[in-house]
Amino acid sequence: MHEGKLELPKDKKRGKSYRDATFMGVMRKTLLERLKKEIDVPVAGAYGYITKYWREKIGLGKSHINDAICISKHPYAKPLDTYYLTKAVRHHNRQIHKTKFSKGGIRKRNQAPYLVKGFRLFDKVMYQGKEYFIFGRRATGYFDIRTLDGTKVNKDSISYKNPLVTKN
Q: Is residue 122 part of a domain?
A: yes
Note down pLDDT in tens along the chain; length 168 residues. Answer: 778 888 877 777 767 778 888 888 888 889 888 988 998 888 888 888 989 999 999 998 998 888 888 888 788 888 888 888 777 777 766 777 777 777 777 777 777 777 888 888 888 888 888 888 888 888 888 888 888 888 888 777 777 777 667 776
**CB within 8 A of 7, min separation 6: which ones?**
1
User: Distance of CA 104 to CAs 95, 96, 98, 111, Å?
Assistant: 21, 19, 14, 20
Total-model pTM? 0.50
Measured at the CA of 163, the angle between CA 90 and CA 111, to 5 degrees, comes to 25
Domain co-membership, 91 together with 62: no
Domain co-membership, 102 together with 158: yes
Q: Is residue 33 part of a domain?
A: yes
Q: Is residue 77 part of a domain?
A: no
80: number of CA atoms within 13 Å, CB side? 5
Determine the structural domain holding residue 31 and report its residue range.
19-71
